[in-house]
A and B are shown apart, each in its own frame.
Chain A
């Protein structure tokens, strides 16, 4: 069972920041939060991950609350090519560090 909950869909205007929320209230202390995105009929693309500190890379920023029960992925300047399904994933420590996917958030970036 997925350990995360996300809104099923969101819209964002092109050029604006997209803020995608995720709840993971049952996360364990040593489990990381990962974000991937998937464009239709392609393999998931890794975006970013974190444990408890905020993280930033060339694609996005990840803000994790102090209690680690929720996080937000921020795409600072969304483009039409960012339209995809975004998955927030808690990575478990067993089964080879498998990823447990939920149903994700379908982000539509509109002109």
Chain B
């Protein structure tokens, strides 16, 4: 099956600890994205990558870091510098990372992070 996987589905961490969220895709997409969702809100862009070994900050990148060493993987690290890390984190991918009509973004199932 082609798709985007995120693991784990639920994650609990103590305050002050860094935590890494996994995102893998087997769609052969060039572009990958990380969004954050807070209760009752829409998604906000954290980071995105349009090609391997390159990534850009989104609208709320502070307190987060990413890497893109492989085309199929785009892990997100939530650092202790992130003031309010408890949220639902969603990974997405698209063919080329453009706004073109055939370049639809598809989402993974999400990881719910709770910092205690």
Contact = CB atoms under 8 A, between A and B. Distances in A.
What 10 A-B pairs come out closest when comparing CB atoms?
A101-B42, A43-B107, A97-B99, A96-B97, A96-B48, A101-B43, A93-B99, A98-B45, A44-B107, A43-B109
Interface string B19-45: 000000000000101010000111111
Interface in A90-111: 91-93, 95-104
Interface in B84-116: 88, 90, 92, 94, 97-101, 103-110, 112
Interface residues of A, number: 28
19 contacts: A2-B42, A30-B99, A31-B99, A32-B101, A34-B104, A43-B107, A46-B104, A46-B105, A46-B107, A91-B99, A96-B31, A96-B48, A99-B35, A99-B45, A99-B92, A100-B42, A101-B42, A101-B44, A103-B41
B58 A95 contact: yes
Interface residues of B, number: 33
Contact of B101 (A43, A51, A87, A101): A51
Identify the interface centre among A34, A36, A42, A96: most chain B CB within 10 Å of its CB. A96
Identify the interface centre among B4, B42, B43, B110: most chain A CB within 10 Å of its CB. B42
Given A95-B45, A98-B45, A49 B33 contact: no
